[in-house]
Amino acid sequence: MNQPAAEQHPAGAVRLGCPVWACSGWVGSLYRSGAARDKWLGQYSEVFGTVEGNSTFYGLPDTTTADRWARSVQPGFRFCLKLPRIISHDLRLTNASRPLQDFLRIAEVLRSRGTLGPTFIQLPPDFSAAEKNSLQRFLEILPAEFPWSVEVRHPDWFDKAANEQWLVQLLSQQSIDFVLFDSRPLFSAPPTDQTEEQAAARKPRTPLRTTVTGQHPFLRLICRNRLSESQQWIREWAEIISGWLQQGLQPYVFTHSPDDQFAPLMADAIHRELHAICPEVPEPPEWPGRRLPPMSQGSLF
């Protein structure tokens, strides 16, 4: 089945988003007050051009649900699903043809509707260069018509030597995007609340990279709950993203915060920085929940 021609999201060539769309804390700000839960995704897609599909790491929706997702969003929107953990963590990319086909069946629903972004393959923290043959064999069997990205966490892949060079070459040859994971904001100061403490215990501190191996640089920026404590890294990445856009690349940028309630604020801040330094990036869209009646930015936060 052929994928429809790509459409640009109203927010422009860069697709900004959050790790989830189902957050009740966004009602009255991102979402309209009183909005039914089944309307959240549509309102989310009016503002953001992508979302991480982390739920597929734990279990797959049925095709009816995936089709409903695809029909709910604005033209140009993309879902970036996470490869199921049974493939990446349990089977470690080996003898995984059956669960891979199950995943591709769901991904195809989104692809056929023109709403599928790069699936990110998050490898376990202990997946080292000793398993590079398994990684290469797995990537070689992936259908090229589906977009892919890879997130590594083991120190082997950040050695600035043979292992890292091997990985970058492998991904570049197959136009698979290297997932850029930046947790510097999170670890820039001690936690100030329980959500930051929990996030600091879970999130890795992998070395920073700005490596580009495909057409869709894939950034996951792990912020703090207070925008002021993440702003310097937001500015830094806005400059980098602007450079990617000048090269004709189409980045995917996801902002995380320990408390999901604040993730949209971080994405909005990147959007505003980008618009200021890169005028071809449109102004940030108005949030549906701030239209009637208008709400001050401080009313949620």
Domain positions in the chain? 15-299
Structure tokens, 254: 């996801």
In this structure, are residues 79 and 117 in contact, taking their beta carbons and an 8 Å threshold? yes
Tell me the pTM.
Answer: 0.93
What local confidence, expressed as pLDDT, does residue 128 receive?
98
pLDDT at 159: 97
Contacts of residue 293, defined as CB under 8 A and 6 or more positions apart, other chains included, come to none
C-alpha–C-alpha distance, residues 87 and 90, integer Å: 6
Distance from C-alpha of 260 to C-alpha of 255, rounded to nearest angstrom: 10
Residues 160/166/171/172 CA torsion (nearest 10 deg):
80
Q: What is the rounded distance in angstroms from the CA atom of residue 175 to the CA atom of residue 178? A: 9
pLDDT for residue 168: 98
Residue-wise pLDDT tens for the chain (301 aa)? 333 445 777 667 899 999 999 999 999 999 999 999 999 999 999 999 999 999 999 999 999 999 999 999 999 999 999 999 999 999 999 999 999 999 999 999 999 999 999 999 999 999 999 999 999 999 999 999 999 999 999 999 999 999 999 999 999 999 999 999 999 999 999 999 999 999 999 999 999 999 999 999 999 999 999 999 999 999 999 999 999 999 999 999 999 999 999 999 999 999 999 999 998 899 999 999 986 443 334 444 4
Give me the pLDDT at residue 8, please. 75
Q: For residue 178, report the phi and psi dihedrals to the nearest 5 degrees.
A: -90, 120
Fold of 15-299: TIM Barrel (3.20.20)
Across the strands, what pairs with 12? 9
Structure confidence at residue 1 (pLDDT): 34
Compute the radius of gyration of the chain from its Cα atoms.
Answer: 19
Distance CA 209, CA 199 (A): 21
